[in-house]
Structure 1
Amino acid sequence: GTKFDFSVPFTIPENVKPSIVYEMNEEVEVEGQKFTVKDVTIHPLRIGVRISFDSKNTMKVLQFEDMRLEDQNGEVWGSIMNGISSRGEDENGDYVYFLQSNYFETPEELFLRINKMQAVDKENAFLVIDTEKGSLINTPKDDILEMVHSSRDGFELTLKTPLEEEFNFGLGAGLTDANGKKVDVASEGMGFKEDNIRSWTVDINDDGYINPVKMELFAYPNYINGDVKIELKK
């Protein structure tokens, strides 16, 4: 039961490999949706792909399921892990998507490849839920998302997808009330039922929030497909 402190001395070598930046500024279009790949930065531990979306797009792109870097032989050099990419938003409002890096191999040529993207109409890119009435007010219009039950302490929805389709994402990102105040989400989870029905539960710490609540979609099984191939040049 005695507590003690200890230290492990180490030094960071001065010859840490620098990041490699490929300036791109390539605009592409997939099923009418435009976006610009601004740059690709290859760090020793990961790859960052910075993308901006055209404000005139009718759809919101949620996830790039197969974004990857390929070498001149078509072999994957850097890719998303398990079909799920992490992403962040920079100070310019651009999104940065992170891939696994293969930094210490140097192919003769590299290409950014994108084929499959999750996207929904902008007006349906969020959920609106009245937790007291148990009503799902706004949702994508494909009838695969249904309310099971709800209360001020949370809600459960089911999502039905085709049996052959993999979907390993949570649906939402952030919850706000009718006044735009952040609602405290205690936990969120995705489980499986029969017939490829997924159960999505959100537990809420009720701090007096005002209904209805709104949640931006983080992912959703609606897809657009293209064949993006951009060469990386220093």
Structure 2
Amino acid sequence: MKHEDVEKQLENYKNKIENISIPETLLDEAIEKGMKQHKESKVSKKKHRYYLPKWTWAAIIFLLAGCVWTVYLIDPVFLRGNPSWESAMQNEYYHEINYTEKKGGINFTLHGVMMDEKNIVSFITIETENKVEYASIGKIQLFDQDGKELIFNGSYGSMDDDDGTKKRRFRHTVDAQISSDDMLKNGLRIVMDVHVQDEGVDESVETFSVPIEVEQIKVAKKQQYEVNETIEIADQKITVEKVVMYPTRAEVHVVLDSTNTKDILDYTNLQLEDGKRNVWGKVTNGVVNIMDEKEPHKDILYLESSYFQVPEQLFMTLSKVQAVNKNEREIIYSMDEGKIIQAPDNGKLIDSVFVEDNSLVFAINTPSEEEFPFGMFSYVLDEQGKELELYSSFNSIRNGKGYYGLELKNIDTLKGNIRIPVQYYPTFLEAEKEIKVQIK
């Protein structure tokens, strides 16, 4: 890099840093960490002395400051559990927007986005100005500038109370996968409904619509590796077609053999490694896998991405999957008789079923929360296959038992059998030894 290019980059960093509001606690932590590092570095300087031009030291200082900027330009909570997003931000694939709108006692902020050829991740904070009983995010839609709605998969952040009051603040990530043609030809618009209700007052809904100018965003090209290798776990055959790297995630494309007797729900310990103890595992926020409804025998699995490290060799390892018999994918429950008609593994893990606060709750023997961090259900069908109105689904694990609930509209009047497909279930298949596949 030329000297004048370095000076220009440093000036850009300087301008960014001067306009950042850094929380005082983070600043204190950074100072304390810097002091500690300075003390440690003084020890090494007694052994080795290096002399650098003044402008080089200036570059080091500003580049380090730039790293702090990339990490803390948005609340670190947004990035927790997703090293790929943090790496993308550190490599300047985060585009700051800071769009703010106030409406109906709600403060809506779109902080910014990360984007590549297929994915766009938006970071949003919503706060209520007044104390309320209830606040939640409703429908989310994504449109191009021609008004065409884009189909995408989304993930949700958590909601927090402010200092024990009834004011609400919640952070939300819209983690969308859409085609490059749709994404890059036009700008985007994200539309989100926010539902708020106070005691004794009808629920109100405010809609926020935010434009995103695509042409201003730094977009990275994918890295693709063809694999086409078949592995086998407990007689279930899985073909790894390819691995595709994006800054925001890695995609592992797999095809399930038509002769398999099980539906594989989750690839429990799937990860990528480079043979030098560097590992890229499953993310704990963002979308974790997608099944193509048109081709249900195909799955796309999402892992942390090695996009910015580009190892010389890359392997995929797997030894354990979550699976149920194909003919037991649904729990069938009789609302009339109050009993289970069908369940995975003949219902052996289900301890009890009860109705509480307009919710149907299943008590199921599960591993610990760390080993089974899943919501089990996402939708419910009636006997004719029509989807019932589901207010919410929830889960918690206590003392080795999981409680999985479905809050249904008019649950007291529901008749006949209802069908509840399981998205996850704590029954596992294990290979005799770890399977290792070379990717590159």
Q: Give the C-alpha shift of residue 84 in structure 1.
A: 9.4
> Does the 8 Å contact 1:190/1:201 carry over to 2?
yes
Question: Is 1:33 aligned to 2:33, yes or no?
Answer: no
Q: Are residues 6 and 196 of structure 1, via their aligned partners in 2, closer, same or farther at CA, if it must alter by over 3 Å?
A: closer
Q: Are residues 182 and 7 of structure 1, via their aligned partners in 2, closer, same or farther at CA, if it must alter by over 3 Å?
A: closer
Q: Residue deviations 1:150-176, cap 9 Å, x none?
A: 48x541110113569831111123211
Q: Which residue of 1 aligns with 2:378?
A: 173
Instruction: Determine the C-alpha separation between the residues in 2 that align with 1:84 and 1:161.
Output: 23
Q: Which residue of 2 aligns with 1:80?
A: 282
Q: Give the C-alpha shift of residue 229 in structure 1.
A: 1.2
Out of 274, 277, 284, the position equivalent to 1:71 is 274
Q: Which residue of 2 aligns with 1:199?
A: 403
Instruction: Determine the C-alpha separation between the residues in 1 that align with 2:404 and 2:390.
Output: 13
Q: Are residues 47 and 55 of structure 1, via their aligned partners in 2, closer, same or farther at CA, if it must alter by over 3 Å?
A: same
Q: Which residue of 2 aligns with 1:54?
A: 257
Question: Is 1:186 aligned to 2:383, yes or no?
Answer: no
Q: Residue deviations 1:128-153, cap 9 Å, x none?
A: 112232111111225221333248x5
Question: Is 1:109 aligned to 2:309, yes or no?
Answer: no
Out of 317, 323, 327, the position equivalent to 1:119 is 323
> Does the 8 Å contact 1:183/1:209 carry over to 2?
no
Q: Are residues 163 and 105 of structure 1, via their aligned partners in 2, closer, same or farther at CA, if it must alter by over 3 Å?
A: closer
Q: Residue deviations 1:164-220, cap 9 Å, x none?
A: 983111112321110010111111111234x32221111111397663111211111
Instruction: Determine the C-alpha separation between the residues in 2 that align with 1:60 and 1:100.
Output: 24
Write out aligned runs for 1:218-229 (5 A).
218-226=423-431, 227-229=434-436
> Does the 8 Å contact 1:72/1:108 carry over to 2?
no
Instruction: Determine the C-alpha separation between the residues in 1 that align with 2:212 and 2:380.
Output: 42
More helix by share: 2
Larger radius of gyration: 2
Q: Give the C-alpha shift of residue 46 in structure 1.
A: 0.4
The higher-RCO structure (CA 8 Å, 6+ apart) is 1
Instruction: Determine the C-alpha separation between the residues in 1 that align with 2:422 and 2:217.
Output: 41
TM-score normalised by the chain length of structure 2: 0.47
Q: Give the C-alpha shift of residue 2 in structure 1.
A: 7.9
Instruction: Determine the C-alpha separation between the residues in 2 that align with 1:97 and 1:222.
Output: 19
Out of 352, 358, 382, the position equivalent to 1:147 is 352
> Does the 8 Å contact 1:63/1:85 carry over to 2?
no
Structure 1 stretch 182-191 or stretch 136-145: which is displaced more?
Answer: 136-145
TM-score normalised by the chain length of structure 1: 0.85
> Does the 8 Å contact 2:291/2:300 carry over to 1?
yes
Q: Give the C-alpha shift of residue 81 in structure 1.
A: 2.1
